[in-house]
Amino acid sequence: MSPSPSARSALPPCLLVAAVAAAAYLNAFGHEFVYDDLPLVLWNERLRSWQGLLECFASSYWTDGNTGLYRPLTLLSFALDRAVSGEATWSYAATNVLLHACTSSAAFWWARELGARKPAALATALLFAVHPVHTEAVTWVAGRAEVLCGACALVALAAHRRAPQGGGWRLLSGLAFSAALLAKEHAVALVAVAPALDLFCGRGSLRKRLSPRRGGYLLFAALTASYLALRAWVLGDAAWGPRYVVPLDNPLVPRVTSLLGNTYGTTASERLLSAVALWGEHLRLLCWPARLSADYSYAQWLPVRSLGDARLWIGALALGGCAAGALLLRRRAPVAAAGLAFLLGVCAVSSQVLRPTGTVYAERLLYLPSAGFLLWVGCAFDRAWRRCRWRAAASGALVLSLSLGAARTWLRNPAWTNRRTLWEETVRTSPQSARAHGNLGLLYLSAAEGIEARGDLPASRREQVARALTERAAQHLARSLEIYPERAGLNVTYAETALKLGRLAEARQALERARRLGRGVLSPEGARVATLLSAATDRESR
């Protein structure tokens, strides 16, 4: 499989793209583990021994096994990082940035194999390298699954296009596709996406377009069947989706009434309308990612319940525009049409149409699909650039887009520095998120306890700072429970916090909610808080 002249000519652009991708994330180093990094990486005992590594291939991605996720290759990459740097995060960040650089370079190769001119492919890859929507996948350690899957998927598609030339390209395509599946399950989209791209970018009759790569389709189908069988054997019933999803994570779950009498979830028709409306969020993030957030859960993003919801029509226009563009451009600009078809195909896997997934929406889900959208943008740039009177404007627009994208990425990276910066920023960008307020409140409580334990501050100063942090914690915990009161543990925590601040009525209400959610039974922690509240009530009455 020696490199062809075209492959050798692609090396300098690929190196340029990789350098730009790495430069955009130079300030992603030195961060702490945050959010899902803690259970997946820092506390994951499977990553500490060879026996644990074998267990990664025979167990769920999450140790509780509920989510129905099987990503052993991602876990293996975490284990390799742990072997290099232990609990220091620099090797994890370096791996993510390196994988992103590889994915960006693979985007150039993939675009060229589809038939894009070099300026279009280079514009596609450079825009992919700096697009701010990728920060969640690249800067966050737990975003590794997206980046690893993206790199392998684009290599698999590019090698698949070159496979008719022989030289072992089909073998590379199969290996890369297998790796993509073991990194993240969304790679199954390639089974349908690969022939669709060949239809758009091929020449001649339908048979001439598909016959040379028929072996590749059979290989992809066989590998997918093997992967699904392995996944079913390892995960059992959970292989077909999470055993349960709470409305806090995804408000598109089937309609249910809680123990507190609140109704959450959607009907099948409402979930379909909401899935269409999410395309408006896709369009916003791909075209103007000025506002980025780490959380879109309840109640930051709520279901669409009527045809009069503006989000539905914005989403329908975005979805319909992509579908119409793919069809209308198929003859005049087949590569651009293929990019839109790729966006539609990959996004379909993470849609909420068939059943609700573990999360209603996340920016990291756009990592791989964005390559298709940016291929369309790259082809539009190339078309304008070829017209002499538009060349200066096209070049200026591209430079401006790259500059703004790199600047926004650079400014977004510090949000992931530690848990406090992450949730403070998330509360700002997603003020209706119950999870963001709850997590920030818990962090403030932890900080207050740390201040109380310090011996290098005067007692009066410790008490003053700790009370200020406790009041801030109470504010966010109360807001979280106002939005979503169904968390028994958080109600107990808020009851104890309110008790510390002398707010006995609020403590009683929270403790009563915890009792109702626990069907009249409190945890040991709840029983302790109930005892303290009873004593405080007695003192107040006397």
* Cβ 371 vs Cβ 124: under 8 Å: yes
| Domain-located, residue 527 | yes
Q: What is the CATH number of the domain that holds 456?
A: 1.25.40.10
Nearest to 36 by CA among 85, 74, 5: 74
Q: How far is 146 from 192, CA to CA, in rounded Å?
A: 19
Q: Concatenate the DSSP letters of all residues of 74-87 into one string.
A: HHHHHHHHHHHHTT
Same-domain pairing of 306 and 389: yes
What is the number of domains present in the chain?
A: 2
Encode pLDDT of 15-35 as tens digits. Answer: 999 999 999 999 999 999 999
Beta-bridge partner residues of 293: none
Q: How far is 421 from 335, CA to CA, in rounded Å?
A: 41
Same-domain pairing of 483 and 536: yes
Q: How far is 383 from 333, CA to CA, in rounded Å?
A: 9
Longest dimension (CA), the chain: 92
Q: How far is 175 from 37, CA to CA, in rounded Å?
A: 28
* Cβ 209 vs Cβ 198: under 8 Å: yes
Instruction: Give φ, ψ of 246 to 5 degrees.
Output: -85, 150
Domain hosting 509: range is 433-541
Counting every residue, how long is the chain?
Answer: 542
Encode pLDDT of 488-500 as tens digits. Answer: 999 999 999 999 9
Same-domain pairing of 391 and 520: no
| Domain-located, residue 131 | yes
Q: How far is 36 from 47, CA to CA, in rounded Å?
A: 15
| Domain-located, residue 138 | yes
Q: How far is 25 from 183, CA to CA, in rounded Å?
A: 22
| Domain-located, residue 146 | yes
Whether the CA torsion 373, 375, 379, 382 is positive or negative: it is: positive
Same-domain pairing of 465 and 364: no
Same-domain pairing of 259 and 150: yes
Please say which residue of 384, 416, 448 terminates a domain: 416
Query: 230: burial class by Cβ within 10 Å (0-12, 13-18, 19+)?
Result: middle
| Domain-located, residue 427 | no
Q: How far is 363 from 92, CA to CA, in rounded Å?
A: 20
Same-domain pairing of 162 and 272: yes
What is the CB-side half-sphere exposure of residue 62 using CA atoms within 13 A?
15
Q: Return the pLDDT at 30.
A: 94
Output helix, strand, coil percentages for the chain, rounded to the nearest 5.
75, 0, 25
Same-domain pairing of 375 and 467: no
Provide the whole-model pTM.
Answer: 0.94
Q: How far is 85 from 91, CA to CA, in rounded Å?
A: 6
Tokens of 310: 């503006």
Amino acid symbol at 407: A
Q: How far is 78 from 71, CA to CA, in rounded Å?
A: 11
List, run by run, the mean pLDDT of 10-residue segments along the chain (542 residues).
53 90 97 94 89 86 78 95 94 98 97 95 98 98 97 98 88 97 96 95 76 92 96 83 82 92 93 95 96 96 95 97 95 95 94 84 97 97 87 92 98 97 97 97 94 74 89 97 95 94 92 86 82 78 64
Residue indicated by tokens 């307020």: 437
> 156: how many CB neighbours lie within 10 A of its CB?
29
Same-domain pairing of 299 and 379: yes
* Cβ 494 vs Cβ 478: under 8 Å: yes
| Domain-located, residue 271 | yes
Same-domain pairing of 106 and 204: yes
Nearest to 496 by CA among 468, 455, 530: 530
Same-domain pairing of 332 and 474: no
| Domain-located, residue 260 | yes
| Domain-located, residue 422 | no
Q: How far is 95 from 79, CA to CA, in rounded Å?
A: 12
Tokens of 278: 């999410």
Q: How far is 177 from 193, CA to CA, in rounded Å?
A: 12
Same-domain pairing of 342 and 464: no
Nearest to 113 by CA among 172, 35, 31: 172
**H/E element, 256:** strand 256-257
Q: Using N-to-C axis directions, what is the helix angle for 190-201 and 334-349, rounded to 10°?
A: 170
Same-domain pairing of 363 and 512: no
